[in-house]
Structure 1
Amino acid sequence: MSDIDVDGETGGEEDGGRRKLSGKFLVLYIILPVLVLAVIGYGAYSFVFSSSDSASTTVDGAPAAQVELTETGDPVFFDLPEFLVNLTSPDGGPTRYLKLRVSLQLPDEDAVSQIETVMPRVVDGFQVYLRELRPSDFQGSSNMFLLREELLRRVNLAARPVRVNDVLFREVIVQ
């Protein structure tokens, strides 16, 4: 029986019983996978080492944390009034209540007077959102983080053009 090359051609006794490697086989199964692995390796290397360098410094070479502290002054904290709302009870269960006290972190003293002028809008946005929550929405740190982010989003929408930096929980009681 005669040998078959990788190309599919039949070979005779002059081949010495060995298969020939064609150019297509060499490129497709050896060179191409080596190139793909090299590109993936280079991409991983550049991702790991370039992202750690750019995150720790800024354009002028100073660490990012120091730049942030020097650009902003001392923050100003503004206490919102206490919120007491009834929560949505699942399946007609007993009524549960939420008592919430928060402070807003503002960039400067000028923002306090601007927040006071839009305070009814801020309180209304918080009340509407808080009344739709369920007691399970306050379980776990991830849910509290989501609550903080939503309150921050709502206060920034209501207080525009003032930018509120953070919402800080002073008291959260669900009973």
Structure 2
Amino acid sequence: MSNPPLSAAIGAYITTISDILRSAVTRRRPWFELFDLSTISRPSSLSDATVRGRKNLSYFCANYATMLVTVLAFSLLSHPLSLLTLVSLIAAWLLLYIFRPPDQQLVIFNRTISHRDALWILIAFTFSVIFFTSVGSLLMSSTLIGFGIVCVHAVFRDPEDLFLDDTVLANSGLFSVVLNGSAAAPTVVSKV
């Protein structure tokens, strides 16, 4: 039987996630623009590489985030036991902490566990699963591989055909899609 506050919490959570994903999709640039081979060149110096990286990360932030998630997804799909472990861990957090009202007591083996105690148990369980199984190394290695691919592309793609305002460049970044999910997409103007 479904609890009305629980279904409202799940609905609000799903709405927030869909709003963030919708915002990310609207910020995504065309993939052919990202992989245009005529824009690939070696940076002349370290400062040029830094400027290129910042401009490309700001302009292609949603595309780069998609690339990171894709590398992570392929890595998890190639290791089904790690994927099953991670899904079980996420399900435990959702059922035992996020969707459970704070005033509702959890009873396990005739022992009452408060919301705060459940949080500490889940933190300890998450720590042990991530650091004492292969899940942590898999997540770390696939994230580093994805981040390496993104950084190499951002440094070697010449952003001369892109133009961003300094305020947009300062207020955006690779994770601005997630952090500022409800904000409007940055204004991008092409050079003539």
Larger radius of gyration: 1
TM-score, normalization by structure 2: 0.24
In terms of fraction of residues, the more helix-rich structure is 2
In terms of fraction of residues, the more strand-rich structure is 1
Highest RCO, 1 vs 2 (Cα 8 Å, sep ≥ 6): 2
TM-score, normalization by structure 1: 0.25
